[in-house]
Chain A
């Protein structure tokens, strides 16, 4: 292996490492809680503590039909009226990073 190909290999390894690190850093944290006043709040954020402002939130019923759709505000939160029956909340993080929380797990 000459110097140039060694350098190319190094760059390739570094690129892979960098891409891996970036992929990990994209993990979305998502949580919802019951406000106790007939409303649910949800919040999304990233591994580095930054908010997932602007991310789309979809609320669906037991059949998967869309009940409500909205976006997280600039502090990464969204409030909506608690649906009557079974429901699920999904944060669409894009590129396979969606997170779904079932209504019954929201305390």
Chain B
């Protein structure tokens, strides 16, 4: 009997782990620009490695960009789009932004908590990507003030394949010791014109543990990840945020950051 209960528990945990790999993806083709220009940023809620089910994203609570310490509200610039994954299509968002001036542009998304019926809980992933114009480092290592966020220790746009990416997981501005972090590779290239993931996968995972990799931060809330392949990698610190309940249900507040690595 005990064995059966144990097996059931293991099964529940395994299922929960598989389900929890939801990721808010923010994407623009190039994170390092030479001379500015108009860029498009897409925000999609789904599963980056498998490009499986995409989830409807409500209009976010906040969407803004930080450059040279100045925060600019971009919520009004968001346009709804329909994003197609390999299994379905769902509501996503895009914005066009004219990059003028050098430095780091931190695009920040504070989404409305998403109610996941399977897991019977809310998920809210505070997400950011950093685009640089001209190389001048200005804001990449700054906090943007989310309830929970990953602050990079390496420039997310200046990484060779094989470099490490390091970050600090923060909750209300304070490090989260031993935070659990999920890491996923953007395995199906996004098509910016058709708003869909490519059918073809870049890599095959030998096991599900490589689809959503789980790593831990150290006692200071810092984590390190060696980048094995060029492209986009997403990092989600799970339940690192301070709020745990919403409408009487469990609330999972995650901190997400995306990086782009390039081959030498």
Contacts and interface: CB of A to CB of B under 8 A. Distances in A.
A49 B137 CA distance: 5
B34 A31 contact: yes
A29 B135 contact: yes
B36 interface: yes
A47 B138 CA distance: 10
B29 interface: no
Interface in A6-41: 29-33, 35-36, 41
Nearest to A48: B137
A98 B37 CA distance: 23
Interface string B67-101: 00000000000000000000000000000001111
Interface residues of B, number: 18
Nearest to A76: B102
A101 interface: yes
A43 B37 contact: no
B186 to A, nearest CB: 25
Contacts of B103: 45, 49
A33 B36 contact: yes
Interface in B19-35: 33-35
Contacts of A32: 35
A91 to B, nearest CB: 11
A29 to B, nearest CB: 4
Dominant secondary structure of chain A at its interface with chain B: strand
A106 B38 CA distance: 11
Contacts of A47: 137
A105 interface: yes
Q: For A31, A46, A77, which residue has the most chain B Cβ atoms within 10 angstroms?
A: A31
A11 B90 CA distance: 64
Interface of A: 29-33, 35-36, 41, 43-49, 76-77, 101, 105-107
18 contacts: A29-B134, A29-B135, A30-B134, A31-B33, A31-B133, A31-B134, A43-B101, A43-B102, A45-B102, A45-B103, A45-B136, A46-B136, A76-B102, A101-B35, A105-B34, A105-B35, A106-B35, A107-B38
Q: Which 7 A-B pairs have the closest CB atoms?
A: A31-B134, A107-B37, A33-B36, A29-B135, A45-B136, A43-B102, A29-B136
Given A43-B136, A49-B138, 7 more contacts: A33-B35, A33-B36, A33-B133, A35-B100, A41-B101, A45-B102, A107-B37
